[in-house]
Structure 1
Amino acid sequence: MTISSGENSVDSTSSLSQLAPLEAILFDVDGTLCDSDPIHYQAYREMLPEIGFNGGVPITEEFYAEYISGKHNDDMAKLFFPDDHQRGLKFTDDKEAMFRRLSKDKLKAVKGLYKLKKWVEDRGLKRAAVTNAPRENAELMISTLGLSDFFDCVILGNECEHGKPFPDPYLKALEALKVSKDHTFIFEDSVSGIKAGVAAGMPVVGLTTGNPEHLLMVARPAFLIKDFEDPKLWAALEELDRKAGEATVAA
């Protein structure tokens, strides 16, 4: 389900430079740190026909990308069981348990993640994981990737008044890290997540690890990248370093 980001019209080099000096980076988890969307998709493909959703016909990747990816489980419960919310929540809990079972030995870091991790650590930036995933899922993915000590905090959508696409989780992350939105940006891979970040007033770098470029662009990311090795990202980070250096000299 990896889809090439291709080219877009946004000048990625300058779109982050106004954030210098950078204070923090906020990361989504599912699909951003690891390419987990295919595993979620597999779980839904297996489980939704059992409850008769879509007439028992397995969902397509396009349906998953548009209506499921990045959404909060509370919204999924309403989609699958509009007249029985508690049954919907039970279904999503069962689906997440299946995801965790399927994830064993399958979760892999998005390409370039550890290169970016070193860049962040070398500059002493603050960082938070911000996710709509349940805590068990988030902790499983973060620990599997060896990032448990990397994040200063983990913000869960279900521990906020509203999850993504509302800005609440990202605003809570800014508060927890004690940083300014004017010196922070976000990595996201879903329409829901990009909308949340934009609504919180920060630039969002979108990853095309699991969702089509045309859908992501509707949510107005700063720019899109294929993965963390994308030259567009590193050009933007180099420009950030240059701007921060200029500010230091001027001071």
Structure 2
Amino acid sequence: MASITSDSHPAESKCSLSELSPLEAILFDIDGTLCDSDPIHYHAYRELLLEVGFNGGVPITEDFYAKNISGKHNEVIGSLLFPDWDHEKAMKFMDDKEATFRRLASEQLKAVNGLHKLCKWIEDRGLKRAAVSNAPRANAEFMLSMLGLSDFFQLVVLGPECDRAKPFPDPYLKALRDLKVSPDHTFVFEDSASGVKAGVAAGMPVVGLTTRNPEQLLIDAGATFLIKDYEDPKLLAALGELERASATSGKVDA
């Protein structure tokens, strides 16, 4: 397979990943990063929140979803949406919402453009990889299966199964430990402010995907640079530069 390279002008210096040479691993969020799942989550929330009369029966907006729900884990979302409900009732709502999401996603879920080409590039270079998500395990495994990536990831780390979920660094720190790689030679793909903050707090550069969330939120959270998808010339140029740095150092077989 040909290398992922770009014929366009090299990306600006702030888009560089060359300081990570030799690259050891790449870590991925799942929702909104591997697949454009946010619209499906949004519609599931919108539908079920209407049923329980949330916000006086006024449907939530995409802006409300982006600012208050996207990237957070269910314990936090349940407390935020239903501060007056008991925990069991709030978690029952969240379980119902996840079941609705899986039903909708079974027909609508699609990989972000260029994902499978990037996965092949990663495999060809023997890089380690993990999926790191705030999703419940049932959702994470479902999405990876739907995308044909169940066997691609060597590790799946879930925020709800850590002491603290994103935006805390715990899930990413666990991935680094379990893969036995250094944050100095690893970077992250994320699409939410919560996820970007977690990756940055774990000491890694984070490439932000502008799948759905406002670009300024990702920049403010500390994203190194932003891309539209995995075919974005900025990413291709950065990976090409990283390969050249590795080749120059003689440490990586490209």
TM class by shorter chain equals over 0.9
- The secondary structure found in structure 1 opposite 2:51 is helix
1:121, CA displacement in angstroms? 0.8
In structure 2, stretches of 5+ residues that fail to align are: 1-10
Distance between the aligned counterparts of 1:147 and 1:98, measured in 2? 22
* Secondary structure at 1:108 match in 2: coil
Instruction: Tell me the distance in 1 between the aligned counterparts of 2:69 and 2:113.
Output: 24
Instruction: Encode CA deviations 1:112-144: one digit per residue, 9 max, x unaligned.
Output: 001111110111000000000011110111011
Question: What is the Cα deviation at residue 11 of structure 1?
Answer: 3.2
The match for 2:233 is 231
Conserved in 2, the CA contact under 8 Å of 1:12 and 1:232?
no
Aligned equivalent of 1:121, options 120, 123, 135: 123
Cα distance in structure 2, aligned partners of 1:227 and 1:203:
17
Using the alignment, how far apart are the partners of 2:70 and 2:89 within structure 1? 20
Give the C-alpha shift of residue 13 in structure 1: 3.8
Aligned residue number for residue 5 of structure 2: none
Consecutive unaligned residues in structure 1, runs of 5 or more: 1-8
Structure 1 residue 143 and structure 2 residue 145: aligned? Answer: yes
Structure 1 position 63 matched with structure 2 position 64:
yes
Q: Does 1:93 align with 2:95?
A: yes
Q: Is the 8 A contact 1:13 1:239 kept in 2?
A: no
For residue 3 of structure 1, what is the aligned residue in structure 2? none
CA distance, structure 2, for counterparts of residue 25 and residue 65 of structure 1:
25
What does residue 208 of structure 1 align with? 210
Aligned counterpart, 1:26: 27
Amino acid at match of 1:72: H
Tell me: CA distance 1:249–1:169, structure 2 relative to 1, closer, same or farther (3 Å): closer
Between the aligned partners of 2:14 and 2:87, the Cα distance in structure 1 is: 42
Return the alpha-carbon distance in structure 2 between the equivalents of residues 72 and 249 of structure 1: 39
Cα drift, residue 218 of structure 1: 1.1
Give the Å deviation of 1:52. 2.1
Task: Say how many residue pairs are matched.
Answer: 241
Distance 1:169 1:10, change over 3 A: farther
Residue 73 of structure 1 aligns with which residue? Answer: 74
Q: Which residue of 2 aligns with 1:52?
A: 53
Please tell me the root mean square deviation across aligned C-alpha atoms, in Å: 1.5
State the AA in 2 paired with 1:214. Answer: Q
Secondary structure of the corresponding residue to residue 145 of structure 2: helix
Kept in 1, the 8 Å contact 2:15–2:225? The answer is: no
TM-score normalized by structure 1? Answer: 0.93
Q: Does 1:180 align with 2:179?
A: no
Percent pairwise identity = 70
Q: Does 1:170 align with 2:182?
A: no
* Cα gap change, 1:60 to 1:249, in 2 (>3 Å): closer
